């Protein structure tokens, strides 16, 4: 199912829900109390990766260096792509990022801001399993390709939300935001068989932020359904690949400026658009 189909299905659920929520299912205290629930959704990568892979040729911690040949030419003049290389040069093309499904469990509490108030405030905690992958590749004049794959394996979040519940109070429109903590995983592949490549900090937990909004509707006295969008951004500046001599000669471009080079994605934030549909059980 592509993103458009997923969004259409979620909208159809919300539009059909009022027919299920008849007067005899009116909750006594809507959006005022504790709940647990789960979501199923689609994550899509939000990274453009236009700058490809960045290099630190003298390993001083500053990226953005040019890897040069012994004649002073740019060893990566063929360029970069925001995907997974399908050959040793740009002409072979790149495979797109892999958008995929995600699912989560959550628990939270809501409260009305005053008796009979349409304003609702709440907080929730959430654990999510994710599968989306972001790719970025570089091409050298050798020719050779270098591809980094990254993505969240799972994450935890704490978010607040503030919403408006009009009319009989069975529906809620809200904005939400908070912090996330997720395990970033990385893989590296290359067609270069001369140098050595050592991943560093390939699997680490990183902090991030989340912001978004959604709608929720009671379909039974203690059951509500939701549709939610979140923009998530996690830091990803600890991972790099240390390139060493391997069997390459001293004239190898990776070795000319100090005996080795570090490389990493030029974009050091990992960004996701998350679309979620969910069910909550309220107490």
| 172-200 core/surface letters (b: 16 or more CB in 10 A; e: else) | bebebebebebbbbbebebbbeebebeee
Average confidence score pLDDT of the chain: 91
Task: Name the band, by pLDDT with cuts 50, 70 and 90, for residue 24.
Answer: low
Cβ neighbours of residue 167 closer than 8 Å, sequence gap 6 or more: none
Kindly state the tokens that stand for 216. Answer: 């929720």
Provide the 8-state DSSP code for 195.
S
- Express each pLDDT in 196-245 by its tens digit: 999 999 999 999 999 999 999 999 999 999 999 999 999 999 999 999 99
Whether the CB-CB separation of 179 and 209 falls below 8 Å is answered with yes
Compute the distance between CA of residue 239 and CA of residue 204 in angstroms, rounded to an integer.
Answer: 8
**Which residue did the predictor score with more confidence, 3 or 217?**
217
Query: Would you say residue 17 has pLDDT above 90?
Result: no
| 255-280 core/surface letters (b: 16 or more CB in 10 A; e: else) | bbbeebbbbbbbbeebbbbbbbbbeb
Query: Would you say residue 99 has pLDDT above 80?
Result: yes
User: Rounded to 5 degrees, what are φ and ψ at 19?
Assistant: -70, -25
pLDDT at 21: 43
pLDDT at 11: 46
The number of helices, as runs of H, and strands, as runs of E, in the chain is: 1, 16
Whether the CB-CB separation of 55 and 75 falls below 8 Å is answered with no
Query: Would you say residue 101 has pLDDT above 50?
Result: yes
Cβ neighbours of residue 224 closer than 8 Å, sequence gap 6 or more: 35, 216, 217, 218, 279, 280, 282
pTM: 0.86
Q: What percent of the chain has pLDDT over 90?
A: 83
User: Rounded to 5 degrees, what are φ and ψ at 219?
Assistant: -115, -5
Tell the CATH topology of 3-282. Porin (2.40.160)
Compute the distance between CA of residue 147 and CA of residue 78 in angstroms, rounded to an integer.
Answer: 14
Whether the CB-CB separation of 200 and 240 falls below 8 Å is answered with yes
Task: Name the band, by pLDDT with cuts 50, 70 and 90, for residue 258.
Answer: confident
Query: Would you say residue 115 has pLDDT above 90?
Result: no
- Express each pLDDT in 130-163 by its tens digit: 999 999 999 999 999 999 999 999 999 999 999 9
Neighbours of 8 (CB within 10 A): 12
Compute the distance between CA of residue 86 and CA of residue 191 in angstroms, rounded to an integer.
Answer: 10
- Express each pLDDT in 30-54 by its tens digit: 999 999 999 999 999 998 777 799 9
Compute the distance between CA of residue 65 and CA of residue 263 in angstroms, rounded to an integer.
Answer: 10
Average confidence (pLDDT) over 100-124: 94
Query: Would you say residue 5 has pLDDT above 80?
Result: no
């Amino acid at each position: 199912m592509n993103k458009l189909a997923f969004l259409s299905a979620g909208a159809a659920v919300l539009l059909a829900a009022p027919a299920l929520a008849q007067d005899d299912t009116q909750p006594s205290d809507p959006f005022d109390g504790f709940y647990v629930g789960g979501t199923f959704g689609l994550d899509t990568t939000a990274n453009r990766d236009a700058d490809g892979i960045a290099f630190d040729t003298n390993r001083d911690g500053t990226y953005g260096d040019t890897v040069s040949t012994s004649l002073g030419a740019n060893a990566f003049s063929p360029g970069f792509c925001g995907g997974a290389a399908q050959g040793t040069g740009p002409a072979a093309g790149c495979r797109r990022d892999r958008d995929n499904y995600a699912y989560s469990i959550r628990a939270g509490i809501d409260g009305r801001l005053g008796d009979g108030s349409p304003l609702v405030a709440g907080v929730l905690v959430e654990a999510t399993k994710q599968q989306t992958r972001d790719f970025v590749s570089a091409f050298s004049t050798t020719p050779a390709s270098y591809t980094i794959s990254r993505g969240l394996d799972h994450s935890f979040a704490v978010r607040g939300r503030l919403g408006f519940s009009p009319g009989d109070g069975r529906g809620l429109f809200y904005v939400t935001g908070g912090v996330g903590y997720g395990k970033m995983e990385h893989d590296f592949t290359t067609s270069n068989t001369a140098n050595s490549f050592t991943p560093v900090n390939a699997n680490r937990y990183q902090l991030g932020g989340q912001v978004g909004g959604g709608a929720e509707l009671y379909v039974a006295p203690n059951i509500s359904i939701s549709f939610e969008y979140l923009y998530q951004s996690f830091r990803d500046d600890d991972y790099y690949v240390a390139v060493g001599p391997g069997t390459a000669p001293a004239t190898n471009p990776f070795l000319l400026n100090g005996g080795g080079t570090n490389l990493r994605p030029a974009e050091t934030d990992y960004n996701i658009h998350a679309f979620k549909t969910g069910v909550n059980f309220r107490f």
